[in-house]
Amino acid sequence: MHLSHLYSAIMRAQWAIDLRDVESSHQILEQIISGSFDKSSEGTLADRKPIEGELVNKNMKKTSSFSGDLPADTIAIVPVHGTMMKYGTYCAYGTTEIANLIYEAAANPNIAGIVLDMDSGGGCVDAIAPLTSAIDYARKYDKSVIAHCDLCASANYYVAIYCDEIIASNRISSEFGSIGVMMSFPDYAKYYEMEGIKVHTIYSDLSNYKNAPLEAAKQGKYDLIKREELNPLAQRFQDEVASKRGEKLDKSVEGILSGRMFYAEDALKYGLIDSIGDKQYAINRARELSREHAVSAYLQTKNIK
């Protein structure tokens, strides 16, 4: 069942992903189809190894348990690693599972803020909403959310722009961008033909537009699928980035909203991120912003501007 989720996502989904991650997904798909994929243990990755975050108190003591009595001003660190998919599969945590950690941290009164430890080239478009919804939920509790990133591309960057700040983890490997949407699908028609298999697809007379973009794409005609499926998603992505980053973003830079990648220093220069710093810096920023949120909330209750 969980392998079928993975297969379906690779085969049918729209992707906001860096091309390097696409190639690795195709390798997994080939293993599934050929039967060589390692299925020695059943269930999802979460079944075998429940997802864990990290908690850091003011004395930098760490624990992985989000439950129980925690010291005040604790910061939760939540991992967002690898190719992003909505549901957990055999080889990856789903963003629904990651979002549950954010909800748990947001609801704990002793957790002051959340740092998302992000290292991903993106993933399925439907993997974005669970995380952005969880980030919005955290704000209802006046919790700061920091994106602390190494590779932060495509769908991963879409999530990062919802955070209070985006921080590059280093000046060497940290990359940002790949703002765009793509899809790919294998065409097995020739393979089936060589195997003596003829596939018949029959549509009702009342369903003449059903799957029209995909059927046209199978014939090498991509205009319809780009116009009806990919372009609206890409436009929404660009609009969200422009809105969230505001005047910080230098939209005059070639390719900044259409798929170009930038290393940390250029990402900072052009407004894709807010700063560069290590994990301790990100933790400190989360505490500082949480205090600012608390003061702002207090002043609002007193109608003080």
**Model confidence band, residue 305 (pLDDT cutoffs 50, 70, 90):** low
Contact between residue 128 and residue 98 where contact means Cβ atoms under 8 Å apart: no
The two structure tokens encoding residue 270: 């052009």
Cα separation, 91 vs 94, in Å, equals 10
pLDDT at position 96 over 80: yes
Q: Are 283 and 187 in contact (CB under 8 A)?
A: no
Residue that wins the pLDDT comparison between 41 and 179: 179
Torsions phi, psi for 114 (to 5 deg): -130, 130
Place 47 in a pLDDT band, splitting at 50, 70 and 90.
confident
Mean local confidence (pLDDT), 78-104: 90
Band of pLDDT at residue 24, cut at 50, 70 and 90:
low
Sign of CA dihedral 260, 264, 267, 273: positive
pLDDT of residue 3: 45
Q: Write the DSSP string, 197-250.
A: --------TT-TTTTHHHHHHHTT--HHHIIIIIHHHHHHHHHHHHHHHGGGS-
What's the confidence (pLDDT) of residue 7? 47
Mean pLDDT of 41-57: 76
The SS3 call for residue 281 is: helix
- CATH numeric code, 2-301: 3.90.226.10
Report pLDDT digits (tens) over 142-166: 899 999 999 999 999 999 999 999 9
Q: What is the pLDDT of residues 214-257, one digit of tens each?
A: 899 989 999 999 999 999 999 999 999 999 999 999 999 999 99
- pLDDT higher for 34 or 242? 242
Q: Residue 73 is which amino acid?
A: D
pLDDT above 90: residue 62 = no
